[in-house]
Amino acid sequence: MTDRRETIGQAPGVPQVSLAQIMLLFARIGLTSFGGGLSAWIYREVVDRYRWMGEDEFLGGLTMAQILPGPNVINLSIYIGQRLRGGIGSLVAVGALLLPPMVLVVILLGIFHRFGDLPWVHDLLEGIAAGAIGLTFSVGVRSARRAAARHYWPLLMILAIFVMIGLMRWPMLPVVLCLIPVGLWAAWRER
Closest CA to 29 of 116, 92, 111: 92
Residues 135 and 165 in one domain: no
Co-location of 121 and 165 in the same domain: no
- Residue 37 and residue 79 in one domain: yes
pLDDT tens-digit profile of 125-142? 788 788 878 877 887 787
Q: Are residues 47 and 139 in the same domain?
A: yes
Asked whether residue 162 falls in the same domain as residue 128, the answer is: no
Alpha helices in the chain (DSSP H): 4-7, 19-32, 38-43, 55-67, 72-115, 119-150, 153-161, 172-190
Give the residue-averaged pLDDT of 95-103: 92
Do residues 128 and 144 both lie within one domain?
yes
Q: What is the pLDDT of residue 82?
A: 96
Share the mean pLDDT of the chain.
85
- Kindly state the average pLDDT of the residues 95-122: 85
Q: Are residues 49 and 133 in the same domain?
A: yes
Report the alpha-carbon distance of residue 17 to residue 141 in Å, rounded: 29
Condensed to tens digits (0 to 9), the pLDDT of residues 55-94 reads 999 999 999 998 888 889 999 999 999 999 999 999 999 9
Cα–Cα distances (Å) from 100 to 67, 96, 125, in that order, read: 27, 7, 19
Is there a single domain that holds both residue 18 and residue 90?
yes
Q: CA-based Rg of the chain, rounded to a whole angstrom?
A: 19
DSSP structural state of residue 164: I
Domain span at residue 10 reads 4-150
Domain match, 110 and 160 both: no
pLDDT of residue 95: 96
pLDDT of residue 5: 47
Q: How confident is the model at residue 3 (pLDDT cuts 50, 70, 90)?
A: very low
Q: How many domains does the chain have?
A: 2
In the predicted structure, residue 7 carries a pLDDT above the cut 50: no
Residues 78 and 128 in one domain: yes
Amino acid 11: pLDDT:
55
Question: In this structure, are 37 and 120 located in the same domain?
Answer: yes
- 157 and 94 part of one domain: no
